[in-house]
């Protein structure tokens, strides 16, 4: 039987999570619905009514009015607050309304999957054309400059190692697994994560003596797996909490002589490596810095070397529409984040590097199953989440985040890719 790894207690807590639900100080935009004029609420209700009546949903309001063609049920408990939030904050308000408990559903993933699949139908074409006027813009404070990236990464990944350990498997791998078949089972998740890691290491041709650069350490499982192959690994992270635990795991595994973990921005990387691996880190780079990111991969890679890149992707047109928009995910989960398209990735490689895209493999259905397992585990361990000091609003936030992400993959709004990038020249 596989032994579950003990996660040392986090010594540095960046936030005090012990708060009442919708605590006004911690959750100022959730504690009370924004003030909205009657015309704003009325127009919002009219637009939503027109959109919802054509969707395979049932949206039931507190006065028993029901919209939709049938399907997953959404119960709106406070229509006034619901319409005020959406009318003033758009999709950010929709998520905040869920956090506030103003609407609920017995099938959150099912409801969000319908909404993701019909996202283009929710906003009338005239309003879509005026998106630049009404959509919130990303705050400058979330730009992924070196200082901005440190702040953005800390807000998510430095929450608490114990929190992540509650819903991740014993590998502590926070990216899509690769399963042998569906539906997936929790007991198979660790093996599926190792399968994913091994595919990446095989793509990068990591073996005895390979000098490997990893951009984005996570909690160190890929570095450990590479070290077990005999590689010498330099891994970069901006998360102090992740680095602390990853270093502990490296020492426990006896690979301190093969693995170095640096608290370092990818732009500060130095040296030349036979292989570079970066797993679901590009989503935290931002479009403004994609050229710099890919140039870094190129500059750090020796001639004849290989890059294995795993990236979440979205359709190009949707990416262009979302690129400058401030989203609920950016506000509450991944500040500064932006999911690229395959076209954007391949264009950046072509225009800013000497690398060649040699292979690409998409496996979004595997991410949907990975997220389902995480979400179910998070839900089942609500009491332990509470015991760590995370309040009800936080739990609803993370439930919504995990379900929203799963729905994106189930609706094929999102995908995940493994790329092999190669560099001409004589190998070592």
| Domain boundaries, given as residue ranges, for the chain | 33-136, 142-422
Closest Cα to residue 136, out of 98, 99, 181, 91? 91
Rounded to an integer, what distance in angstroms lies between the CA atom of residue 316 and that of residue 21?
A: 38
Are the CB atoms for 152 and 336 separated by under 8 Å? Answer: yes
Q: Considering the entire predicted model, what is its pTM?
A: 0.92
- Which band of pLDDT confidence, cut at 50, 70 and 90, is reported for residue 425? confident
Sign of torsion, CA 96 124 105 365?
Answer: negative
Q: What is the pLDDT of residue 24?
A: 84
Could you tell me the two tokens for 322?
Answer: 């979302």
Beta strands 66-67 and 415-422: pairing type?
unpaired
> Distances in Å between the alpha carbon of 55 and those of 111, 324, 406?
10, 27, 19
What phi and psi, each to the nearest 5 degrees, are found at residue 99? -60, -35
Average pLDDT score over residue span 130-136:
55
Rounded to an integer, what distance in angstroms lies between the CA atom of residue 104 and that of residue 101?
A: 7
64, with CB counted inside 10 A (0-12, 13-18, 19+), is: exposed
Closest Cα to residue 338, out of 285, 417, 411? 285
Are the CB atoms for 251 and 116 separated by under 8 Å? Answer: no
Beta bridge partners of 47: none
Residue pLDDT, tens place only, 194-245: 999 999 999 999 999 999 999 999 999 999 999 999 999 999 999 999 999 9
Rg (CA), the chain: 22
What phi and psi, each to the nearest 5 degrees, are found at residue 78? -135, 80
Listed range (8-17, 118-127, 345-354) with the worst mean pLDDT: 8-17
Sheet holding 211-215, edge to edge: 259-263, 232-237, 211-215, 273-279, 301-313, 415-422, 356-362
- Which band of pLDDT confidence, cut at 50, 70 and 90, is reported for residue 352? very high
- Which band of pLDDT confidence, cut at 50, 70 and 90, is reported for residue 1? very low
- Going by C-beta distance under 8 Å and a sequence separation of 6 or more, which residues neighbour residue 341? 313, 314, 315, 316, 318, 319
Rounded to an integer, what distance in angstroms lies between the CA atom of residue 304 and that of residue 426?
A: 5
Are the CB atoms for 393 and 30 separated by under 8 Å? Answer: yes
| Unique residue bearing structure tokens 């935009």 | 29
Rounded to an integer, what distance in angstroms lies between the CA atom of residue 189 and that of residue 179?
A: 8
Rounded to an integer, what distance in angstroms lies between the CA atom of residue 231 and that of residue 229?
A: 6
What phi and psi, each to the nearest 5 degrees, are found at residue 268? -100, 0
Residue pLDDT, tens place only, 256-314: 999 999 999 999 999 999 999 999 999 999 999 999 999 999 999 999 999 999 999 99
**DSSP states along 359-407:** EEEE-HHHHHHHHHHHHHHHHHTHHHHHHTT--HHHHHHHHHHHHHHHH
List strand residue ranges (DSSP E) for 87-239, in order.
103-104, 211-215, 232-237
28, with CB counted inside 10 A (0-12, 13-18, 19+), is: exposed
Q: What is the pLDDT of residue 321?
A: 85
Are the CB atoms for 237 and 261 separated by under 8 Å? Answer: yes
Q: What is the pLDDT of residue 18?
A: 36
Sheet holding 58-61, edge to edge: 66-67, 58-61, 73-76, 103-104
Query: 142-422 in CATH: which number?
Result: 3.40.50.150
Could you tell me the two tokens for 158?
Answer: 């430095």
Could you tell me the two tokens for 187?
Answer: 């007991």
Give yes or no for residue 140 having a pLDDT over 70: yes
């Amino acid at each position: 039987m596989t032994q579950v790894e003990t996660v040392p207690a986090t010594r540095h807590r960046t936030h005090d999570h012990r708060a009442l639900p919708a605590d006004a100080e911690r959750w100022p935009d959730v504690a009370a619905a924004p003030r909205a004029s009657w015309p704003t609420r009325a127009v919002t209700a009219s637009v939503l009514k027109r959109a919802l009546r054509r969707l395979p949903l049932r949206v039931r309001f507190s006065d028993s009015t029901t919209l939709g063609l049938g399907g997953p049920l959404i119960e709106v408990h406070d229509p006034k607050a619901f319409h005020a939030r959406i009318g003033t904050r758009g999709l950010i308000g929709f998520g905040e309304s869920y956090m506030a408990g103003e609407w609920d559903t017995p099938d959150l993933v099912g409801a969000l999957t319908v909404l993701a699949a019909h996202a283009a139908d929710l906003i009338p074409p005239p309003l879509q054309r005026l998106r630049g006027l009404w959509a919130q813009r990303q705050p400058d404070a979330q730009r992924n400059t070196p200082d901005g990236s440190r702040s953005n990464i800390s807000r998510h990944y430095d929450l608490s190692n114990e929190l992540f350990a509650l819903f991740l498997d014993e590998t502590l791998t926070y990216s899509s697994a690769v399963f042998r078949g569906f539906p997936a089972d929790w007991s198979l998740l660790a093996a599926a994560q190792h399968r994913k890691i091994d595919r990446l290491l095989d793509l990068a041709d990591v073996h005895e003596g390979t000098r490997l650069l990893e951009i984005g350490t996570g909690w160190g499982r890929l570095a450990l797996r590479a070290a077990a192959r005999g590689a010498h690994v330099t891994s970069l992270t901006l998360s102090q909490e992740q680095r602390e635990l990853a270093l502990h795991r490296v020492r426990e595994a006896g690979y301190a002589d093969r693995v170095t973990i640096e608290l370092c921005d990818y732009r500060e990387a130095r040296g030349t490596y036979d292989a570079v691996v970066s797993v679901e880190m590009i989503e935290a780079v931002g479009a403004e810095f994609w050229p710099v990111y890919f140039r870094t991969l190129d500059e750090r890679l020796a001639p004849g070397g290989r890059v294995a890149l795993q990236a979440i992707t979205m359709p190009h047109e949707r990416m262009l529409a979302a690129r400058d928009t401030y989203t609920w995910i950016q506000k509450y989960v991944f500040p500064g984040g932006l999911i690229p398209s395959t076209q954007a990735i391949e264009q950046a490689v072509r225009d800013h590097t000497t690398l060649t895209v040699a292979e690409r493999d998409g496996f979004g259905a595997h991410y949907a199953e990975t997220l389902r397992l995480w979400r179910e585990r998070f839900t089942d361990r609500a009491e332990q989440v509470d015991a760590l000091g995370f309040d009800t609003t936080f739990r609803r936030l993370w439930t919504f985040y995990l379900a929203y992400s799963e729905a994106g993959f189930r609706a094929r709004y999102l995908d995940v890719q493994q790329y092999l990038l190669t560099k001409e020249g004589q190998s070592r």
